[in-house]
Amino acid sequence: MNSAQIYLDHNATTPLRPEVLAVMQRYLTEDFGNASSLHAFGHAARAGLEDARVFLADALGCAPAEVHFTSGGTEADNWALVGSAAVRGPGRIVTTAIEHHAVLHTCRHLESLGCEVCLVRPDRRGWVDPGVLEARLDEHTILVSVMHANNETGVLQPVAEIGQLARRRGIPFHVDAVQSFGKVPVQVDQLGADLVSVSAHKLNGPKGVGALYVRAGTRLAPWTHGGGHEGGRRAGTENTAGIAGFGRAAQLAQTEQQGRQSVLEALRNRLEAGILAAVDGVQVNGQGAPRLPNTLNLSVAGVQSEALLLAFDLEGVAVSSGSACSAGGEAPSHVLLAMGLDRRLAGGSLRFSLGWGSTAAQVERVICLLPGLVRRFRDLAGGA
């Protein structure tokens, strides 16, 4: 990335911070030992691993032993769902229609193994009403899984309330907090969660490392079988460099969160107001619901989002059309469709997500560019 490029796709992934790289380098070179080895090399690696576990536990408000490192958010989501179904037997899983594919496609897999999956729809703002979800809970429900913040719209879900509903019935509660962790406080007791998924690369850490919080006493089948790693629940020699980097990234996010997020929120609000003033026929998806401070999801009437994305790319600006996982595909976002957008508006959606390195000058450049791009595509559509 050169300095003229503008990266506004932080919900897809984030740049690695230099402080994180420095820690990782140490565990890739000097302290390269296997954390299970009994000699000094092993002890050094083990110390880095356990320090990271403490940093994660501090950030999540839990005990270090409740943090289990994984290969990322997707694995944590898979483990939470499959591992719960394995010990509680096939039954009903209540989740939402706007979850990440790491949850939705795992649910589909569990359906093939005899589970029944209930997908609760959000309201038009992309917010899941706890009362609507409560009506779907029954005595066969083995798990409730609801994301903390939606990755496409940034809408924050009422997980604390949903957690109480689940707890009252003795149903374990999983929260996919991959998108919120590092952006807003994620404290396991406040979420009322028994299982929480997080991922390093969404908060300026490395790709391919994440964690699953498992509340002490929660029944969950082991994920991989082999050595006794991660409390005997997730076997495999630990990715010490990645995990140490994750720990540092979580620590940085925690200390800087408040200050940084209010700056990002001001930038996001300026971007939103600037675009709404400059372009007509734009709606903000998720408006009126509590949202992450960094995310802006828009639908632009009369324009295909892929066309806008590519035009922005030619100008050196990276944005997203819906979720990164469906990029390249023609399918409109399942999140926006579940919110009740028609296919045309859903197909004209753009996501701007700000983060570390975002500046006011970048925001002004986007506000300046968008009207011309939209006019060009609308003229083309009108003339055809």
> Quick check: 210 binds ligand PLP (CB under 6 A)?
yes
Nearest distance from C-beta of residue 199 to ligand PLP, angstroms:
3
Q: Which two tokens stand for residue 272?
A: 């939103």
CA distance 6 to 8: 6
Stretch that binds ligand PLP, among 28-36, 195-203, 245-253, 290-298 (CB under 6 A): 195-203
Amino acid letter for position 305: S
Please, which contacts does 89-92 make with residues 24 or more away whose CB atoms are closer than 8 Å?
A: 89/142, 90/114, 90/115, 90/116, 90/142, 91/115, 91/116, 91/140, 91/141, 91/142, 92/116, 92/117, 92/118, 92/138, 92/140, 92/141, 92/142
Of residues 11 and 254, the one with the C-beta less far from ligand PLP: 11
Of residues 15 and 316, the one with the C-beta less far from ligand PLP: 15
Of residues 253 and 373, the one with the C-beta less far from ligand PLP: 253
Tell me if residue 118 is catalytic: no
> Quick check: 74 binds ligand PLP (CB under 6 A)?
yes
Interface residue with ligand PLP, options 84, 96, 151, 157 (CB under 6 A): 151
Site for ligand PLP in 9-68 (CB under 6 A): none
How many positions of this chain bind ligand PLP (CB under 6 A)?
Answer: 15
Of residues 102 and 345, the one with the C-beta less far from ligand PLP: 102
Nearest distance from C-beta of residue 41 to ligand PLP, angstroms:
29
> Quick check: 178 binds ligand PLP (CB under 6 A)?
yes
Of residues 74 and 297, the one with the C-beta less far from ligand PLP: 74
Interface residue with ligand PLP, options 48, 72, 126, 355 (CB under 6 A): 72
- DSSP collapsed to 3 states, 87-142: HHCCCEEEEECCCCHHHHHHHHHHHHCCCEEEEECCCCCCCCCHHHHHCCCCCCEE
Sign for the CA dihedral angle at 70, 43, 249, 186 comes to: positive
Interface residue with ligand PLP, options 8, 85, 102, 159 (CB under 6 A): 102
CA distance 148 to 176: 6
CA distance 121 to 337: 10
CA distance 356 to 264: 9
Nearest distance from C-beta of residue 84 to ligand PLP, angstroms:
17
Query: Residues with catalytic annotation?
Result: 325
Task: List residues binding ligand PLP (CB under 6 A).
Answer: 72-74, 77, 100, 102, 147, 151, 176, 178-179, 199, 201-202, 210
